[in-house]
Structure 1
Amino acid sequence: MGNRRHERIPAMDYRQYRRARRLVRECCNYDNGQCMVLDEGDGCVCVQSISHSLLCRWFRVAVLPLDHQLETALYHRLESRRCSECGALFLPGSNRAKYCRECAARMKRKHATERKRKQRRLCHALGAEKAL
């Protein structure tokens, strides 16, 4: 397996480990602490639930993306930014991004509302007394 690319396995701190451990229950191969994929009749403990590093490939590909902030903290440390609104880590889509996905939608609505209010206030069709 010399041509297989070696991936860097990120190590987690305790908070990240706890978040990952909660996520393990979302895995379709998890059954009461056992891994159904590794089970060969005598039961096998889910390695992801007892490890402080990401060992299970299925967890990395299918389950970890459910928690965007944890995935960003583990795999995109250098490219990640903090949201200006809530402080969560996120992976920006451009160099101008300053909000995470959840806050971006809310802030877009807020700024559109402010822009429209200003536009209505400055509209020449309305008299000064009507604009107030």
Structure 2
Amino acid sequence: MRENPYKRLPPLERRPDGSLYRMTPAQRKRANALIRRECCCCEDGNCIALDDGDACACPQKISCSVCCKWFRWAVLPLDGTLEAEIFRDKDLKRCAVCGGVFVPKSNRAKYCPGCAARVHRRQKTESERKRRSSVDS
């Protein structure tokens, strides 16, 4: 018989007072979309990890708190911004171009990953144009 991988996951984090971390309605909506879109232990809204022969609704989809180990450790890290918003363990920054919230990879980051590529390309183009114009023919 195979061991359930759900049991090997670390325990859920709790607040200093012992309660579970809670999500706002907007965060819960994003979490439910993440559960549907990514590889969660859900099949037709039923939790596979808790399945003992009877259909069991996914506790994470019906709860406003982070109560599922699989969701916490396997699914939530796929959306680093949502994880940082819920747990506040990482600092969030606002993009200087679009104003969106993102988790910086360094303390110098100014742009979200989507805008960073565009800004870098524009800066490189301007630099090359300036370099070519200063060359004497």
TM-score of the two chains, using structure 2 as the length reference: 0.77
Q: For 2:12 and 2:77, how far apart are their aligned partners in 1?
A: 21
- Percent identical pairs in the alignment equals 47
Structure 1: which 5+ residue stretches go unaligned? Answer: 127-132
Bigger RCO (CA 8 Å, 6+ sep): 2
Matches within 5 A, 1:20-99: 20-25=31-36, 26-76=38-88, 79-99=91-111
Instruction: Give the stretch that moved more between structures: 73-82 or 20-29.
Output: 73-82
Cα RMSD for the two superposed structures: 2.1
Per-residue Cα deviation, 1:47-82 (whole angstroms, up to 9, x for no partner) = 110111211121122212332321222233661111
Structure 2: which 5+ residue stretches go unaligned? Answer: 1-10
Q: 1:11 and 1:37, CA in 2 relative to 1: closer, same or farther beyond 3 A?
A: same
Q: How many residues align?
A: 122
Question: What code does the residue aligned with 2:45 have?
Answer: G
Query: Quick one: which of 107, 119, 127 aligns to 1:107?
Result: 119
Question: What code does the residue aligned with 2:86 have?
Answer: L
List structure 1 runs of 4+ shifted beyond 4 angstroms.
none
TM-score of the two chains, using structure 1 as the length reference: 0.80
Task: Look at both structures and tell me which one has the larger radius of gyration over its CA atoms.
Answer: 1
Instruction: Give the stretch that moved more between structures: 75-84 or 57-66.
Output: 75-84
Question: What code does the residue aligned with 1:102 have?
Answer: G
Q: For 1:56 and 1:98, how far apart are their aligned partners in 2?
A: 33
